[in-house]
Amino acid sequence: MIPVVALVGRPNVGKSTLFNRLTGTRDALVADFPGLTRDRKYGQANLAGHDFIVVDTGGIDGTEEGIETKMAEQSLRAIEEADVVLFLVDARAGLTAADEAISKHLRSREKRTLLVANKTDGIDADAAVGEFYALGYGEIHQIAAAQNRGVSSLIHYALAPMAETLKEEAGELDEEIDEDAWDVEEPEQLTEEDAESEAERLRALPIKLAIIGKPNVGKSTLTNRILGEERVVVYDMPGTTRDSIYIPMERDGREYVLIDTAGVRRRKSVYEAVEKFSVIKTLQAIEDANVVLLVVDAREGLSDQDLSLLGFTLNAGRALVVAVNKWDGLDMTVKEDIKRELDRRLGFIDFAKLHFISALHGTGVGHLFESVQEAYDSATRRCSTSLLTKIMHMAQDDHQPPMVRGRRVKLKYAHAGGYNPPIIVVHGNQVRDLPDAYKRYLMNYYRRSLNIVGTPIKVLFQEGA
């Protein structure tokens, strides 16, 4: 399960700056769920070899009366649901009463917490952070978020214990980390044999299908509807409220694992009376799924939250099917209006299938699985080097790449770089300098030629052979 890092601290210590640092390398999206989150921001991040979700809990200044009650319930849950808390203080401002209040609060939660002194640039940092030892965290991690200093090592330190394979190397790596080098995200390189076995491995596994959507769109109703029609083996899993329930099921001879973010099958004793919707739970489900089924409410139209969830799904490279729910009892003209509006606003995911369903009555639910299967098959379809290279040449013959600095860009060959999402790596001279329009042209050419439906594709460009 992808780890969650929460940023906590009084206002102005640099949480937003650090948040942007952590997510900036990857067009991070911010999900703002009014009424649920109170100024909280969520982002996907990849740094120092770790994928993680970062949550900015918003400023707590500690002067509120009774911090326990005043901190929004959702902010408390961000801390509860996090794997590690980064408690930020301002090295320039020194220790404040607000820091002490927050510290006291954090300690009572028994969550792994690292004390992080920010803004250590241009000052005698060792001297400046001295007074923070009084908070009793032991080691103080010095960073300058604005300068991107110390950030990679901090993240590595925070997350290495969770990445089993990195555990032993953590100590050595800490010293070796070259800040800039870690920030470059290199495409995953698979050899042709690796690519083949990766595609095969994926196709042999059950399809992990996450049913996501904002509160009240009908996720529980849909999940029950799907499960009601199936012979389902349900197993209760112990866990915290943040965990989704994984439900194995079979449909049309294919095996699935339904990732139930709505908590339908959670035991009463485990499912406490908390708000059942959790942004973190949803983001983790997206990351862990092969295919995401996004449920939206036909009667409410697309909201910013729907678009945020779509953005997270695309960022994660997941295959996608959209269910427009509550399609019952609407008259013809309203339906036409809704369809037009969706067409207009969902142009950026024109590869995904839209289904108009009624979870309540069961209408259209069966057909969802045809699209889920199609999307998964597309996402894991094996593509040989010779096929990808041939398509590349066809695209090039139809439409020559433009000149860059007086020389024509030359495409040489292409191979698969991964699946779910399909990654195609194109090699050639000056390919990285290709204009975006040509890169898009190539991607669309591949999509059409390979008939890839329901999943984003990534085309990466690599200099030389």
Of these, 4, 13, 116, 372, which contacts ligand GDP (CB under 6 A)? 13
Q: Which CB, 64 or 200, lies closer to ligand GDP?
A: 64
User: Is residue 146 involved in binding ligand GDP (CB under 6 A)?
Assistant: yes
SS3 291: strand
Tokens 């399960």: give the residue: 1
Question: Given phi > 0 = left and psi -120 to 50 = alpha, else beta, which region is 127?
Answer: alpha
Q: Distance between CA atoms of 146 and 151, rounded to whole angstroms?
A: 10
Of these, 150, 218, 401, 421, which contacts ligand GDP (CB under 6 A)? 218
Tokens 């990534």: give the residue: 458
All residues at 6 or more sequence positions from 320 whose CB lies less than 8 Å from its CB, including other chains? 291, 292, 294, 310, 313, 314, 349, 351, 352, 375, 454, 455, 456
Q: Which CB, 296 or 388, lies closer to ligand GDP?
A: 296
Residue 217 known to bind ligand: yes
Q: Distance between CA atoms of 164 and 162, rounded to whole angstroms?
A: 6
Burial of 180 (C-beta count, 10 Å sphere; 0-12/13-18/19+): exposed
Judged by CB under 6 A, the number of residues near ligand GDP is 31
All residues at 6 or more sequence positions from 370 whose CB lies less than 8 Å from its CB, including other chains? none
User: Is residue 221 involved in binding ligand GDP (CB under 6 A)?
Assistant: yes
Tell me the closest approach of the beta carbon of residue 13 to ligand GDP, in angstroms.
Answer: 4
Q: Which CB, 221 or 420, lies closer to ligand GDP?
A: 221
User: Is residue 226 involved in binding ligand GDP (CB under 6 A)?
Assistant: no
Q: Which of 50, 129, 46 is nearest to 94 (CA)?
A: 129
User: Is residue 219 involved in binding ligand GDP (CB under 6 A)?
Assistant: yes
Q: Which CB, 43 or 213, lies closer to ligand GDP?
A: 213
All residues at 6 or more sequence positions from 253 whose CB lies less than 8 Å from its CB, including other chains? none
Tell me the closest approach of the beta carbon of residue 217 to ligand GDP, in angstroms.
Answer: 5
Site for ligand GDP in 312-351 (CB under 6 A): 325-326, 328
Which pair of tokens denotes residue 186?
């290199």
Does 421 sit behind a cis peptide bond, omega within 30 degrees of 0 on the bond before it? yes
All residues at 6 or more sequence positions from 345 whose CB lies less than 8 Å from its CB, including other chains? 302
Residue 60 known to bind ligand: yes
User: Is residue 60 involved in binding ligand GDP (CB under 6 A)?
Assistant: no
SS3 372: helix
Residue 148 known to bind ligand: no
Of the listed pieces 35-43, 156-164, 217-225, 436-444, which binds ligand GDP according to CB under 6 A? 217-225
User: Is residue 279 involved in binding ligand GDP (CB under 6 A)?
Assistant: no
User: Is residue 303 involved in binding ligand GDP (CB under 6 A)?
Assistant: no
Draw the binding track, 177-216, toward ligand GDP (x: CB under 6 A; -: no contact). ------------------------------------x-xx
Tell me the backbone φ, ψ of residue 428, rounded to 5 degrees. 170, -175
Sign of CA dihedral 32, 37, 38, 43: negative
Q: Which CB, 75 or 358, lies closer to ligand GDP?
A: 358
Of these, 323, 359, 423, 431, which contacts ligand GDP (CB under 6 A)? 359
Which pair of tokens denotes residue 320?
């996608």
Residues within the interface to ligand GDP (CB under 6 A): 9, 11-17, 59, 118-119, 121, 144-147, 213, 215-221, 262, 325-326, 328, 358-360
Residues in binding site for GTP: 9-16, 56-60, 118-121, 213-220, 260-264, 325-328
